[in-house]
Structure 1
Amino acid sequence: MRFQMKLVGTIAAAFAMGSVAAETIKVGIIAPFSGPFAHYGALFKAGAEGYVANQGGKLAGKDIEFIYRDEGGPNPANTRTLAQELVIKDKVDYMGGVVFSPNAFAVAPVIQASKTPFVVFNAATSDITTKSDYYVRTSYTLWQVTVPMAQHAAKKGIKKVITAVTDYAPGVDAENAFKAEFAKQGGEVVESIRMPIRTTDFAPFAQRIKASGAQAVYVFLPGGPPNLGFVKAYNENGLKAAGIEFLGTAETDEFDLQKFGDSALGLTTAFHYSAAHDSPANKVFADAVAKVNKDAVLNYATVGAWDGMAVIHKMIEATGGQRDGDKAMAAIKGYQWESPRGPVSIDPTTRHITQNVYLRTVEKGAGGLMVNKEVQNFGPQVDHGLRK
């Protein structure tokens, strides 16, 4: 409590002076730029800078200065310190980014005290936006993409499912979402497995899944090596051959997709974005990102940053470049636009993005490359976790 009071006092003092319109808007982006999750930082950077470049280099007539800070990995204390430095030392007008939910929770007191709007580009635990009035999210939540998957499984006639999730906040959200919705649909979750976040050998879990009697496994894993390791175990331990269906969300992420090879074919996920999404807006997005980083992968991280800057663009327009967190946040409640993922809007109550969720299956596309082909549109989905 003493720390909280000192933090609020320090930040409030830093912003006691009035605000005038600035010609350059400072945007602080917190992301992993080193370590095993560094690709997120590179993709956030490509999406954010690609958006600004596509607008002619300015937003609402204002120059944009990006200030990047490295969260590294799940490290709440360090991320809170980075946010404090961006607010007090760098005097940023807006912030964005954050991959890990525990880090997002740690930043909340900083942005609440300074009234600094923060756009979450990735962190996917539902109640993040409840922790500060200045949070808005352009990524997704596990409840948002899992509820339609549970409904789909039930409609397919699947009666028994086992869940296997990584044991941290988003994984628990995913497990709870599937169990709650699948039960509503008359299905049974026969067992719930929580896998330690540092798991590298998934074979023991695959054996438990195989022995469970389930017709399908619902999976949540953080991006990167865990996805590859789990899918390898799913195939090598005979789950696919036994007809146990794979039901996931971001496990076939485009960043890793080509690394899977044929082992990914037929994997089914429910998600809000595919690089294969066929729309003019997605083509503009692809071209703009390629111009700033030809190696950048189009995936949920890149599009989260792109749309995050669309939200910041709207806030700059509304405030005329002045530092006014309350006016900025009021402007984006109910805001609608055409995203590379399809039509989206910001829920005025939860400040979370409402968006289509698509059923996807991995297929071979042009040149033999793997793609997440959208085979069904579940329609606009809210964050069911905050509406439950």
Structure 2
Amino acid sequence: MPLNRRALCGAALAAAAFIHPFAQAQDATIKVGIVGPFSGPFAHYGSLFKAGAEAYVASQGGKLAGKTVELIYRDTGGPNPAQTRVLAQELIVKHKVDYLGGFVFTPNALAVAPLIEQSKTPAVIFNAATSSITEKSEYFVRTSYTLWQVTVPLAQWAAKQGLKKIVTAVTDYGPGVDAEAAFKSEFEKQGGTIVETIRMPIATTDFGPFAQRIRASGAQAVYTFLPGGPPNLGFVRAYNENGLAKAGIQFLGTAETDEFDLQKFGDSALGLTTAFHYSGAHDSPQNKAFVAALKKQDASAVANYASVGAWDGMHVIHKMIEATAGRKDGAKALAAARQLQWESPRGPVRIDPKSRHITQNVYLRKVEKQGGLLVNAEMQSFGPQVDFGLSP
């Protein structure tokens, strides 16, 4: 579909933009459009993208590969593919951005695939976690994770713990379906049985009925996936209030104990088990430097998977700028991205040259209290994991 300048005029005027003064517009300025929710119930993702991206640029002295960088933010408000497409068109056509970044929700990321394919604009995914996204355009690179990547090692671990019967309970949209498929296929491969698969509508606020079904299923554990924010709090509350923990039904998840919400859970979160690629408590010099840079940029920012996805996303953009000497050359930029490996705040990582998805360690985590605060304590590393959900 052609990029129509006239069709963009109204959207361009209506779109809310935030341009950070790392630089005034100059001929040599590299423009990066960051797309995410900066308003509405998922606005924390946008603020964490902003903090992570700006902290990275600041950590490099305010320039990337010697080039001035202008970060241009666009607000999707939430899962809104049509609006996301309009905003991405505006960034590509009107603002002539060199790179795109961000994208919280899978449908939003998929909506821009035809645009970046046509314009040859590299787009770095800071969050959206459905495996198939990177297959939709060769100009996608992902620095977050996928549900298959973090779920397969968790299913293997669960089987090794002697768990035989598990119920899956996931939010009924792309990533939730991915999570369910990943856990079910791997757990059954390991000899386990999924006694029930529960899909919860995305608008669910009362998780009590689902918790009761889980308790009645006869399962030894529940594997769950929910989008960040209020659904996590609601599900864990229902898990405890309906006696699942007391009945010995183990909680298994991925991002459900996200650092952004973790302190809100209170002691009800203690002992919750997750497998994930990052913990704010990860003990490394790189993570300490990241946390310090993030706090210096925004004292209210939280070191979590969204902010570290943005930090590493800007590292990838930095290296693409370096490889192209700041010129607009999508093919050359992507060729450079495919070769990248570095020490991230999450541990050693690399970009898979075929899938353009990040290969990274996945950690078994348990919620503990340290110094009066709840943390996702890393109990063990499963080692480097690829995206098991991609087509062979």
Instruction: Report the TM-score when normalising by structure 1.
Output: 0.95
Structure 2 CA distance for aligned equivalents of residues 180 and 10 of structure 1: 48
Is residue 5–residue 94 contact of structure 2 (8 Å, CA) maintained in 1? no
Q: Deviations over 1:11-46 (max 9, x none)?
A: 9xxxxxxxxx95210000001000000000000000
Structure 1 CA distance for aligned equivalents of residues 139 and 148 of structure 2: 21
Partner of 2:389: 385
Aligned length: 374
Query: For residues 204-243 of structure 1, what are the structure 2 equivalents within 5 Å?
Result: 204-243=209-248
SS at match of 1:262: helix
Structure 2 CA distance for aligned equivalents of residues 356 and 335 of structure 1: 16
2:34 alignment partner, one of 26, 29, 36: 29
2:47 alignment partner, one of 42, 45, 50: 42
SS at match of 2:124: strand
Structure 2 CA distance for aligned equivalents of residues 183 and 8 of structure 1: 49
Is residue 5–residue 93 contact of structure 2 (8 Å, CA) maintained in 1? no
Query: For residues 288-327 of structure 1, what are the structure 2 equivalents within 5 Å?
Result: 288-327=293-332
Structure 2 CA distance for aligned equivalents of residues 341 and 157 of structure 1: 29
- Confirm whether residue 116 of structure 1 aligns to residue 144 of structure 2: no
Is residue 8–residue 110 contact of structure 1 (8 Å, CA) maintained in 2? no
Structure 2 CA distance for aligned equivalents of residues 199 and 209 of structure 1: 16
Is residue 129–residue 136 contact of structure 1 (8 Å, CA) maintained in 2? yes
Query: For residues 69-148 of structure 1, what are the structure 2 equivalents within 5 Å?
Result: 69-148=74-153
1:372 alignment partner, one of 349, 370, 376: 376
Structure 2 CA distance for aligned equivalents of residues 319 and 113 of structure 1: 19
1:387 CA displacement: 5.4
Structure 2 CA distance for aligned equivalents of residues 168 and 304 of structure 1: 22
SS at match of 2:390: helix
Shift in CA distance, 325/148, structure 1 to aligned 2, threshold 3 Å: same
Q: Deviations over 1:247-302 (max 9, x none)?
A: 00000000000000000000000000000000000011011111110110000000
1:189 is matched by which residue type in structure 2? I
Structure 1 CA distance for aligned equivalents of residues 262 and 341 of structure 2: 31
Q: Deviations over 1:132-181 (max 9, x none)?
A: 11000000000000000000000000000000000000000000000000
Partner of 2:16: none
Structure 2 CA distance for aligned equivalents of residues 201 and 179 of structure 1: 25
Structure 2 CA distance for aligned equivalents of residues 250 and 230 of structure 1: 13
Structure 2 CA distance for aligned equivalents of residues 161 and 39 of structure 1: 32
Partner of 1:329: 334
1:361 alignment partner, one of 357, 366, 382: 366
Please, which runs of 5 or more residues in structure 1 have no aligned partner? 12-20
Partner of 1:14: none
Structure 2 CA distance for aligned equivalents of residues 293 and 23 of structure 1: 27
Structure 2 CA distance for aligned equivalents of residues 96 and 89 of structure 1: 17
Instruction: Report the TM-score when normalising by structure 2.
Output: 0.94
Structure 1 CA distance for aligned equivalents of residues 340 and 311 of structure 2: 15
Partner of 2:291: 286
- Please give the root-mean-square deviation of Cα atoms over the aligned residues, in Å: 1.4
Partner of 1:15: none
2:159 alignment partner, one of 121, 138, 154: 154
1:196 alignment partner, one of 193, 198, 201: 201
SS at match of 2:247: coil
Structure 1 CA distance for aligned equivalents of residues 172 and 390 of structure 2: 21
1:220 is matched by which residue type in structure 2? F
1:7 CA displacement: 3.7
SS at match of 2:204: coil
Structure 2 CA distance for aligned equivalents of residues 56 and 169 of structure 1: 39
Structure 2 CA distance for aligned equivalents of residues 123 and 28 of structure 1: 16
Shift in CA distance, 365/277, structure 1 to aligned 2, threshold 3 Å: same
Partner of 1:67: 72
1:83 CA displacement: 0.3
- Confirm whether residue 185 of structure 1 aligns to residue 190 of structure 2: yes
Partner of 2:22: none
Is residue 184–residue 194 contact of structure 2 (8 Å, CA) maintained in 1? yes
Identity level (%): 75
Structure 2 CA distance for aligned equivalents of residues 125 and 10 of structure 1: 33
Structure 2 CA distance for aligned equivalents of residues 23 and 387 of structure 1: 39
Is residue 8–residue 113 contact of structure 1 (8 Å, CA) maintained in 2? no
